[in-house]
A and B are shown apart, each in its own frame.
Chain A
Amino acid sequence: DSGVTQTPKHLITATGQRVTLRCSPRSGDLSVYWYQQSLDQGLQFLIQYYNGEERAKGNILERFSAQQFPDLHSELNLSSLELGDSALYFCASSDRQGAGEQFFGPGTRLTVL
Chain B
Amino acid sequence: ILNVEQSPQSLHVQEGDSTNFTCSFPSSNFYALHWYRWETAKSPEALFVMTLNGDEKKKGRISATLNTKEGYSYLYIKGSQPEDSATYLCAFMNRDDKIIFGKGTRLHILP
**Chain A residues engaging chain B, CB cutoff 8 angstroms:** 2, 33, 42-45, 48, 55-58, 90, 92, 98-107
- Contacting pair A42 B43 (CB below 8 A): no
Given contacts A90-B44, A103-B46, 15 further A-B contacts (CB under 8 A): A42-B102, A43-B44, A45-B98, A45-B100, A45-B101, A48-B97, A55-B97, A56-B99, A58-B98, A90-B43, A99-B31, A99-B93, A102-B34, A104-B44, A106-B43
A104 partner residues in chain B, CB cutoff 8 A: 43-46
Q: With both chains docked as a complex, state the minimum distance between the C-beta of B43 and any C-beta of chain A, in angstroms.
A: 4
CB distance from B3 to the nearest CB of A (A): 12
Looking at the assembled complex, report how far the CB atom of B49 sits from the nearest CB atom of chain A, in whole angstroms: 5
A107 to chain B, nearest CB (A): 6
Whether A99 touches B49, Cβ cut-off 8 Å, given contacts A2-B43, A90-B44, is yes
Dominant secondary structure at the B interface:
strand
Binding site for A on B (CB under 8 A): 31-32, 34, 43-46, 49, 51, 89, 91, 93, 96-104
Residues of chain A within 8 A (CB-CB) of B98 are: 45, 56, 58
Find out whether the CB atom of B43 lies under 8 angstroms from the CB atom of A107.
yes
A93 to chain B, nearest CB (A): 11
Most buried by A among B32, B45, B93, B97: B97
CA distance A42 to B100 in the complex (A): 10
CB distance from B103 to the nearest CB of A (A): 5
Contact indicator B49/A100 (Cβ below 8 Å)? yes
* Contact indicator A43/B101 (Cβ below 8 Å): yes
Q: How far is the CB of B33 from chain A (nearest CB, A)?
A: 9
When C-beta atoms are compared, the residue in chain A nearest to B32 turns out to be A99
Contact call B49/A101, Cβ cutoff below 8 A? yes
Query: Can you offer 17 A-B residue contacts whose CB atoms are under 8 A?
Result: A2-B43, A2-B45, A42-B101, A42-B102, A42-B103, A44-B101, A56-B98, A56-B99, A57-B97, A58-B99, A99-B32, A99-B49, A99-B51, A100-B49, A101-B46, A102-B46, A103-B46
Give chain A residues whose Cβ lies under 8 Å from the Cβ of B97.
48, 55-57, 98
Q: Which residues of B contact A106 (CB under 8 A)?
A: 43
